[in-house]
């Protein structure tokens, strides 16, 4: 469906990164805690912090505790993703790498970075495999 090299980022309980090289071979990836998991664990372990809505803040510097948590969780996750993408590109020795976001929060993240949102990528892939084997 997409040209390679390719990085697929799945935004679920975990944020997973899958990397395909220019030949289209899966070569590995990375797994980090997802956005909601990070927020839940932060508010669970830090007694003085309460849960907030997962919305992107207008600024990196929050002027309330709520905005500071939103910045740390949401903007921090964007920085994590962009940093991982940059490092994957270096290891691939490729600048032109297609980035695909899929899963739970992919639509929201596609608004804040250069990424194609394909929410149903996994389900469509499974359907394609099923059809090939039917």
Residue 61's pLDDT band, with cuts at 50, 70 and 90, is very high
Q: Is the pLDDT of residue 117 over 90?
A: yes
pLDDT value for 48:
85
pLDDT value for 53:
85
Residue 122's pLDDT band, with cuts at 50, 70 and 90, is confident
Give pairs for 65-71: CB < 8 Å, separation 24+. 69/39, 69/42, 69/43
pTM of the model: 0.89
Mapped onto helix, strand or coil, the DSSP state of residue 93 is: coil
Q: Is the pLDDT of residue 44 over 90?
A: no
Average pLDDT score over residue span 25-40:
93
């Amino acid at each position: 469906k997409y040209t390679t090299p390719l990085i697929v980022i799945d935004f679920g309980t975990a944020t997973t990164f899958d990397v395909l090289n220019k030949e289209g071979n899966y070569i590995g990836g990375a797994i980090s805690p997802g956005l909601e998991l990070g927020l839940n664990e932060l508010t669970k372990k830090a007694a003085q912090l309460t849960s907030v809505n997962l919305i992107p803040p207008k600024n990196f510097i929050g002027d309330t505790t709520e905005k500071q948590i939103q910045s740390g969780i949401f903007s921090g996750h964007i920085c994590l993703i962009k940093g991982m993408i940059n490092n994957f590109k270096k290891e691939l020795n490729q600048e032109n790498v297609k980035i695909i976001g899929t899963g739970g929060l992919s639509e929201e993240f596609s608004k804040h970075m250069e990424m194609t949102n394909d929410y149903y990528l996994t389900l469509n892939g499974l359907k394609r495999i099923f059809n090939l084997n039917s």
